[in-house]
Amino acid sequence: MKLNKEITRRRTFGIISHPDAGKTTLTEKLLLFGGAIQEAGAVKSSKIKKGATSDFMEIERQRGISVATSVLGFEYKEIKINILDTPGHKDFAEDTFRTLTAVDSVIVVIDVAKGVEEQTEKLVEVCRMRKIPMIVFINKLDREGKDAFELLDEIEQKLNLKVTPLSFPIGMGYDFKGIYNIWEKNVNLFTGDPRKDIEETIEIADLENPELDELIGAEAADNLREELELTEGVYPEFNRLDYVNGDLQPVFFGSALNNFGVRELLDCFVDIAPSPLPKMSDVREVKPTEDEFTGFVFKIHANMDPKHRDRLAFVKIVSGKFERNQPYLHVRQGKKLKFSSPNAFFAEKKQIVDEMFPGDIVGLHDTGNFKIGDTLTQGEKLNYRGIPNFSPEHFRYINNADPMKSKQLNKGISQLMDEGVAQLFTLDLNGRKIIGTVGALQYEVIQYRLEHEYGAKCSYENINVHKACWVESEDEKSEEYKEFKRVKSKYLAKDKQNQVVFLADSAFSLQMTQQKYPSIKFHFTSEF
């Protein structure tokens, strides 16, 4: 019974946005409501500041911050909320994709002036394909921006979503008067005076109530009535099932910086956002309410202190209760492990705990057993799937720049790849190692960390690769497959799981190869 109760009171989600839309500010305000922090400014921005590419100390500093903000847990109205941090910087997009496998819902933050931006499009697409429930928060209403209807249109078209507003702005920028909360049927007035409580909530259940005219002026009141009538005609009525199934996205307006419209968002979120959902494994669907513990690793963070080289593996609990000092099966390695100091995450600290429940993230100290995607169970042999590698965008040979340290280099590369910093491909032809990354920034991170954490030195060399494709053939003994392997031997490599990868040097050669060998499948992700 206790398990059920704990599951229903959990909400595990991520906030996604294009950098600068206000993700950090919103996170901080949500924590303030939960009483998890006492003052604004307590959550440091984990974004990589512009120009940080050559500033290694900055990268380290950011890494430190990103450990601290990886999971922010707090309680609000007896609901246990876990916010999973998703880096906004596009070079770390893959970290964000992986984190999205561990959330049960997301909040999408959009800047009212900039509208839908590139990074938002990419991240929302991933959520849409996985049918993750999404709430949209349009931020910075205290500034001049796009018209509300225009924005809702843009969201529907660019993000391919079906939206319905649950709040509506009254004016904007200089004329911003507040929002009408469609969900709670009240008006929140924006006083704009930071010395006072910025928001005043007044119940206006009936829009025809003349009090509305007094509050915001007759003209604004008439406008609002018209606009709300229009929204009723154009947008579907909110329906929780559609939202939870990923078919309808409610929209809120507000200003995170002014802490305006944030409480409304949070109140609605705890009401409608789903508690932990069942998850598909390679053998069956697992329900959170099952007695036996299962979970999977979605993130690994190396210790910041080079003297203690252990790492922290972040495990999302899918089912059952996780208990300290219990033996759990590491399915890939087929061995049992016990964890004497599992960490739970709170807003500003982590703490050793005895038990945790589905939806929670447990941090496990690891000396090199885990890699991203690994499954832990109470004994059942099942694997959670769905954390594929995507084809990297950049490729370079990695060379050993200090022959005395080749062991350290290999260990370092192997561990950094397990952490998911980049992907390693080994050429069939000559065994040379190629590092593939999503962004150019990772090469500097790898070089810096190899030197500082493993005492190894590396150098890079350019290589012309357009895309990495995972190769699949129904019949590996067929003449066609044999010919492909012979003719293309120069371009074939193995990934870290020993899967065959074709490194196409141009879009044209990829297309030609696909045409020439029709029985072979070329996949752009490692999971197919």
Shortest distance in whole angstroms from residue 143 CB to ligand G4P: 5
Shortest distance in whole angstroms from residue 275 CB to ligand G4P: 26
Tell me the C-alpha distance between 338 and 21, whole Å.
42
What HEC string does 293-320 produce? CEEEEEEEEECCCCCCCCEEEEEEEEEC
Longest dimension (CA), the chain: 82
Shortest distance in whole angstroms from residue 203 CB to ligand G4P: 25
Minimum CB distance to ligand G4P smaller for 261 or for 276: 261
Q: Is 406 helix (H, G, I), strand (E, B) or coil?
A: helix
Shortest distance in whole angstroms from residue 177 CB to ligand G4P: 15
**Residue 39 neighbours by CB distance under 10 Å:** 7
Looking at the DSSP bridge assignments, the partners of residue 352 are 343
Minimum CB distance to ligand G4P smaller for 21 or for 272: 21
Shortest distance in whole angstroms from residue 125 CB to ligand G4P: 18
Shortest distance in whole angstroms from residue 137 CB to ligand G4P: 10
Minimum CB distance to ligand G4P smaller for 87 or for 420: 87
Q: Give the length of the chain.
A: 528
Minimum CB distance to ligand G4P smaller for 257 or for 272: 257
Tell me the C-alpha distance between 89 and 126, whole Å.
16
Minimum CB distance to ligand G4P smaller for 30 or for 417: 30
Minimum CB distance to ligand G4P smaller for 50 or for 477: 50
Report which of 391, 415, 392 is spatially closest to residue 309, judged by C-alpha positions.
Answer: 415
Shortest distance in whole angstroms from residue 351 CB to ligand G4P: 26
Minimum CB distance to ligand G4P smaller for 10 or for 89: 89
Instruction: Name the H helices within 77-117.
Output: 93-99
Tell me the C-alpha distance between 129 and 106, whole Å.
13
Looking at the DSSP bridge assignments, the partners of residue 14 are 84, 106
Tell me the C-alpha distance between 339 and 69, whole Å.
23
Shortest distance in whole angstroms from residue 255 CB to ligand G4P: 3
Residue 406 neighbours by CB under 8 Å, 6+ apart: 400, 456
Chain positions contacting ligand G4P, by CB under 6 A: 17, 19-25, 45, 47, 88, 139-140, 142-143, 255-258
Tell me the C-alpha distance between 349 and 337, whole Å.
25
The DSSP-derived string for 3-31 is HHHHHHTEEEEEEEESTTSSHHHHHHHHH
At 448, the amino acid letter reads Y
Strands 105-111 and 10-17: parallel
Minimum CB distance to ligand G4P smaller for 110 or for 297: 110
Minimum CB distance to ligand G4P smaller for 138 or for 520: 138
Shortest distance in whole angstroms from residue 28 CB to ligand G4P: 8
At 431, the amino acid letter reads G
Residue 33 neighbours by CB under 8 Å, 6+ apart: 76, 262, 263, 266
Shortest distance in whole angstroms from residue 15 CB to ligand G4P: 8
Minimum CB distance to ligand G4P smaller for 17 or for 442: 17
